[in-house]
């Protein structure tokens, strides 16, 4: 763990912020629902990285426990999301989210 602490905490902060921003941009710009889902996972993993880094830096286990919960919830969310995508694919034969604009008027 000593080696970890020689890397300043800011570096982790910057890295995860960059990863998070890539995820946010992906969600906002991509049109394929599966890619959007992947970008959301990227955001969550950026958070996980940050939490693990803080947890080590603060010598406090709470952050790592939070990481466990985030991973499990992310898996549950992905399962539900894929289920919804399959349902939509069966009806429209596409995963392009810009096709879904029936509700806008």
Q: Which residues bind other proteins (CB under 8 A)?
A: 9, 13, 16, 20, 23-24, 27, 33, 36-37, 40, 43-44, 46-47, 50-51, 54, 57-58, 60, 62-63, 65-66, 68-73, 75-88, 91-92, 97, 100-104
Nearer to other proteins, 7 or 82 (CB): 82
CB of 2 to other proteins, least distance (A): 15
Concatenating the DSSP letter of every residue in 38-98 gives HHHHHHHHHHHHHHHHHHHHHT-THHHHHHHHHHHHHHHHHHHHHHHHHHHHHHHS--BGG
Q: Are 51 and 70 in contact (CB under 8 A)?
A: yes
CB of 6 to other proteins, least distance (A): 18
């Amino acid at each position: 763990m000593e080696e970890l602490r020689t890397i300043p905490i800011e570096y982790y902060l910057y890295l995860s912020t960059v990863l998070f921003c890539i995820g946010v941009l992906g969600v906002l710009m991509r049109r394929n629902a599966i890619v959007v889902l992947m970008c959301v996972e990227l955001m969550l993993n950026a958070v996980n990285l940050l939490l693990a880094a803080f947890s080590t830096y603060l010598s406090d286990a709470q952050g790592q426990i939070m990481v466990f919960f985030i991973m499990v919830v992310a898996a549950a969310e992905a399962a539900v999301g894929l289920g919804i995508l399959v349902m939509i694919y069966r009806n429209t034969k596409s995963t392009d989210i810009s096709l879904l604009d029936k509700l806008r008027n």
